[in-house]
Every structure is written in C-alpha cells, then in structure tokens.
Amino acid sequence: MNHAMPRFLNTLIVEDSDDDTQLLVRELREGGYEPVFTRVETGAAMRAKLKQQDWDIIFADFTMPQFNAFEALQALHEAGLDLPFIVVSGTIGEDRAVLAMKAGAHDYILKGNMKRLLPAVERELREARNRRERKQAEQTIRRMAFYDLLTDLPNRSHFRNQTQQAVQAGIQEGRPVALLMMDLRRFKDVNDTLGHRCGDQLLQQVGARLRAAMFQNDMVARLGGDEFGVLLPGMAAISDIEIVARKILSTLEAPFVIEDVPIVVETSLGAVVAPEHGTDADILLQHADVAMYHARETGANYSLYDPTHDPHNPRRLALMAELRQAIENDQLQLHYQPKIALATGGMIGAEALLRWQHPKTGMIPPDQFIRSAENTGLIKPLTDWVLGTGLRQCSEALASGALRHLAINISARSLHDLRFPNLVGKFLKASGIAPEKLMLEVTESAFMVDLQRTVETLAVLSHMGILISIDDFGTGFSSLNYIKKLPVNEIKIDKSFVSDMTSNENDLSIVRSIIELGHNLGLKVVAEGVENKATLDSLAALGCDYCQGYYISRPLPHERFKDWPGHASGKT
C-alpha cells in the first residue's frame, strides 16, 4: 500500500463494465493516485465530457457494444486535445494493439495483467507534461518573433514586414502610405530616477494610449527601447499625416501616473510618405528616423522628412573613405570577451569584437560604421581583416586548447556571397587552426533578405567543420521556423532579455523558454549581457550552458585577454 499523499488524477474511463472500472480505479489508488473519474460508454457521452472539463488521462476498453477504442481516439483528436490515452482491455491481441498504437494510443494494458499499468501511467503523464512544456516554449518563441512581450504591440520585424506590404498595395492602388516614428524625450531619466520597473510601466501605458487613439487598420508597434512606430495604410491624402501627428501628441499630453507619480511625456515625431520618400520599408524607417532626429534637434514635436535634413549620405561617404584608410593603416583593433561554462566557471571560448581607434575622434563603436560598410561593399575587406587578425592573435590559445573556440560576427552580406566559405578556409589554413575552433555568429536578420542562399552558405561552412551560432536570438524574424532549417550549434539569448530577468517575470519566462527550446533542438544556449551574480546564478539554475557579460569580463584588448584568468571572478 502506498501511504504517500495521494495525487489527484482527473480520469476519463471509456468502459461499459462497472466492475472493470472499479478494478482500474483500485489499481490506481494502490499506486498512490486518487482518481476523480467519470465513466462513459458512447461516443456522444465522451465528446460531451471532453468539452465540459479538463482531463489528465484517458483509459479505454478496446471493444464495447456501442463504441470502441478507435472511435474514442477519433473523438479525442477531433477535440484537438493531447492527452495520455491507454487501452485497457481483456480482448486485445498483438495485431490490434499495434493498430491502436498507430491510431494514436500511447500504450495498452491487458486486464488480466495489470502490473504494467502504474509504470505506463507514470511514463505517459510525464511525457504529456513534457509535450505541454515544449508547446508552451514554442508558442512563446513564435510570439517573440512578431510581438514585443512588454507592450504586446507588434515588434520591429513585424512592423517592417507590414510596412512593405502596405507600400506595395498602395503603389498598386495609387494611394499614399504614411509611417510615423516617435521616441520619448528624457526616458532615460525615468529609468534612472524611478527604476526600470516604472520605465516598463510607462512604455506599456504609452503603447496602450497610442493603440486606443488609432483606427482599426492602423498599426502601432514598439520598435525598440522608447521608440514607437505608427503605420497608416489607408490615408486619403498626404495632409492627413499632420492631423494624425497632432492627434498622437494630444493623446500623450495628459500625465501618466506610475506608482502615484505623475509623469509628463514629451515626444519627438518624424513622418515619411510612400512612395514620395521611398518604396522600401528599411529606407522609409531610416528616413523616418532622420525626420524624428530633426524634430528632436529643432525642439519641434513633429517633422516631415526633408532630404536636405538628411546628414547620412555625405557623412557616410566621408566616414567610409576614412574606414578604408583605417583598414590599411592599422587603426582597427579586436577586443575579446570571454565566454564561460556555467557548470564549471571555466572559459570555453571568446567573442572577437571590432573597435575603430580614429586618430581624430577617438574610439568609434561598430554600430556607427558596420551598416554603412555593408551598404558600400567595405564589409568584405573589413571581414577579411577581422578573420585574419582574430585567428592570428588567438592561434596559440586555440592550438593549445586554452581557448576551445573563437567566435567572430559575420554580416548578411558575407553569407550571401557563395565564395565566402573558400575565403574562410584560406584563413584557417594560413593560421593552422582546425575548423572546429572557429565559430561564426550570425544574426537572424541575415535570413530575411535571402534565406535560401544563407542556408546554402551555412551548410557549406558547417560541412567544413566550422561552428555556427545564432546571435541575438529571439529578437529577429520567425526564429522557430528558421532555426530548424539551419546547421546551428548554439543560440545566444539577446541581452535585452537577460539584463532584467531577475526582476522581470516576462524576461525570466522568455529566457527559460529559449533555454528549453534550444535544448529540445539539441543546441547549446548562451546568455549575453550577464552583469551581476544574481543573473549568473539564475541562469545556472535554469540550465543555461554558457554566458558572457560585464560580470564575467568586459571585452579586453588582446594583450590583456591573454592574461585573463578564465573563470567567473566578477572582475572587469
């Protein structure tokens, strides 16, 4: 007799014999369960019960006068439920048992030999729980691909795709489409003064007000940080933009009350019109950003894009000319950020991060020149320099095993070049480093332009033995759909989810889901942006494999990186 606390089990029994039902219930009770059961013996009764309440498990006799196990399985499938289904019968033979399993039954038990009942119940309840958890993780990832989980608004990727579709439809129908971009002035002051929790609440309230102010066909999205976008696909005339802009400004005039503190929000709003200001979503977003920046600089609340206000073209050309000289004149540097194994605290790899030491303006971060380098074709010599320098500087550590692998970020432009694998092979051969010592990090945005070519290039690289990592996982486009098609070794959780996971339940849930999903797909999972011990401990408890961040070490110049202790000391 099992004297442990009984485990309640909502049990649906498809059976025409009350005696056999009681035998089954007694066996379950002997095993420590307390079945809360209902017996049915017709298809109509079973379908009604499936609709009325939730069930943990279903037991079914194989053959009854008015019903059988195959019909019961069909009723279960029609209800769209994934429940453990065990056939318990005294008449089933091996052939029919196989047919029942093929039809969807999870196991079968002979009434004359109930010894297998309890192990089968334990196993199938556990498997059902695992299936539920996997499904929840996949649903979370799917939603992350299109929606911002803080505000429940569409994210940047979804907004971009809808903008492109709206513009194409507008061109075909001969009507304008407008896009507005706005940010919150001094939002950083709210975070610094009241804390990130209050900042998150402010973003949620701003998003809710914007959504309530727009028409049904308009799209409001959170583009990132304190930036929001509004898509107006049904404009009658260009003059309507200013009306909408004033409506938005009026909607945000009243103070927001966050934890009894009234907060007045001021905004900078930029607007563009397609096709006048562009027909490509990325160009329109860039021009809207220019207009928003102009509004901020001039103190205006609203600004329509004007090419004369766009400083990008001449500045970009000048900067790219200087970048070409920087590559030739050795003004570039690589810094290395250690990546540790959470289980041991030991260093397993490092990420190479590019820095530009400009002789006049000082250190220029990569986000100020990488995109322009991609657009002008300078990304190829820049990638050559990073690959050659990184493998050369780390060759000794990689060869000795002190460093298991070196991770280098690769742009979409490189992945769309079918000659790129040969280039990588030449650098590996020149440095004498084995392919499995090199990991290439790719952002999900690389898949958006040319998925087929990206997959082909990654397949060749993987076949060479090179490791592949998906960077900023969860912030890109259709993460779950593409990750299954790619020869990937690891995924890196974006730091935007990691930084607040110990204080934000949404972020914690996202991190947990990504770790579970990665492990279900047989991948290693890395957390970026670990800045304190609490985050490190939480990631370890969730079973995350690796991590990197300022708590472990800041990115270090090569000379300092060579002497790094290789453990999570917390020193920077």
**Domains in the chain, start-ordered, CATH in brackets?**
7-145 (3.40.50.2300), 156-307 (3.30.70.270), 314-561 (3.20.20.450)
Q: Are 349 and 404 in contact (CB under 8 A)?
A: yes
| Residues 6 or more apart whose Cβ sits within 8 Å of residue 76 | 50, 58, 83, 85, 104
pLDDT at position 515, please? 93
Q: Which residue has the tokens 């060579």?
A: 562
Distance CA 59, CA 49 (A): 14
185-189, 248-252, 333-337: segment of lowest average pLDDT: 185-189
223-237, 313-327, 379-393, 461-475: segment of lowest average pLDDT: 313-327
**200-222 tens-digit pLDDT:** 999 999 999 999 999 888 999 99
pLDDT at position 317, please? 67
Q: Give the global pTM.
A: 0.55
Confidence of residue 7 (pLDDT cuts 50, 70, 90): confident
Most confident of 255-259, 349-353, 451-455, 517-521: 349-353
Say whether pLDDT at 145 is over 70: yes
pLDDT at position 188, please? 80
pLDDT at position 363, please? 82
Q: Measured between alpha carbons, how far is residue 308 from residues 179, 243, 287, 296, 305 in Å?
A: 19, 24, 11, 16, 9
Distance CA 542, CA 343 (A): 11
Say whether pLDDT at 348 is over 80: yes
pLDDT at position 135, please? 86
Mean pLDDT of 237-244: 81
Say whether pLDDT at 93 is over 80: no
Q: Are 40 and 12 in contact (CB under 8 A)?
A: yes
Mean pLDDT of 278-284: 90
pLDDT at position 75, please? 93
**39-64 tens-digit pLDDT:** 998 999 999 999 999 999 999 988 88
Helix axes 505-520, 533-542, angle to 10 degrees: 40
Mean pLDDT of 180-205: 87
pLDDT at position 95, please? 74
Percent of the chain with pLDDT over 70: 92
In the predicted model, what is the mean pLDDT of the chain? Answer: 86
pLDDT at position 545, please? 97
pLDDT at position 66, please? 82
Mean pLDDT of 224-230: 92
Q: Are 535 and 498 in contact (CB under 8 A)?
A: yes
